[in-house]
Amino acid sequence: MRKKALLAVFTAGALAGGLLSTKAFAQVEGELSPEEEMKLVQEFNRMLAEGINPGEIWYEVGKEAIKKYNLDKCDLGLGPGVFKGAAAQLPRYFPDAKRVMDLETRVGWCLQQHAGMTQEQVLKFVRQCWGKSGNCVSEYDGIIMYLTMESNGYKINVNLRDPNVKRMYDIGKQIYYTRLGPWDFNCATCHAGKQEVRIRATRLWSMDRPGEVGKAVSIFPKYLVRWGLPMSMHYRYAECIRQMRWPEFIPHSDLGVALSTYLYGSANGTEINAPGIGR
């Protein structure tokens, strides 16, 4: 009862634009020190221990947005409007679109098909809160949160026996280890190798340490304390690619789908437990 009451207050505050003005959800201007970030993480960890997760706010936002944008007609692979466990089986090949799609790419396609959006409008919708913090509540983030959390408790099960999916998996693996840009970086620069790597207080997961890729991807969308916002997987790709000084990442592109197929395919068998929480 206490959890439901608190979430009701938080959700109302979020929709009114006042959620993140409270101390608990405050977004500190400028760069946070590691000590400040750790204090915020500890505060949210205490909330999680009490069964309160800030991501559930976006779940409720997404639940309403599904109706608003006719996404109850969207087929994630188990039939129109069947969302329980569907995200756990993505990416997958969709004959109607004639391509392999991950969750975010499929949602973008459904927004065009069922909400009448153009591709440009979808991209604007996706990026609504990119680069922002504080009082920004994105319906797109809500949709992705809702659909992912509907698969909580289900194990990731990407069908790598499908030749279309396996091809995209192989492309994603090649991208992951390809060095590009002026700094000659790749995804493996931060997320490969047996040796532990840290950035400030954050321990980076590695593709080469058993089970870590599953633990990493199974909690996305991930709530970031320093922003006071959730981060979807395609937003994560965009930020990583920006930091590596690669060409700009376009949401729902084949690049994103290939990376998702490699990462989630490598995480098969891991139980989805979204949203995660991080610095």
Most distant CA pair in the chain: distance in Å? Answer: 54
Q: What are phi and psi of 93, to 5 degrees?
A: -85, 130
What percentage of the chain's residues is helix, strand, coil (to nearest 5)? 50, 10, 40
Kindly state which CATH superfamily the domain 2-278 is placed in.
Cytochrome c-like domain (1.10.760.10)
Per residue of the chain (279 residues), what is the pLDDT tens digit?
Answer: 434 443 443 344 444 333 433 333 333 344 567 677 677 667 767 766 776 677 778 999 999 999 999 999 999 999 999 999 999 999 999 999 999 999 999 999 999 999 999 999 999 999 999 998 767 889 999 999 999 999 999 999 999 999 999 999 999 999 999 998 888 899 999 888 877 777 666 788 788 899 999 999 999 999 887 788 899 999 999 999 999 999 999 999 999 999 999 999 999 999 999 998 877
> What pTM was computed for the model?
0.85
Domain boundaries, the chain: 2-278
Q: Which of 166, 144, 162 is nearest to 261 (CA)?
A: 166
What is the rounded distance in angstroms from the CA atom of residue 43 to the CA atom of residue 188?
32
How many other β-carbons are positioned within 10 Å of the β-carbon of residue 160?
Answer: 15
What is the rounded distance in angstroms from the CA atom of residue 110 to the CA atom of residue 96?
11
136 is catalytic: no
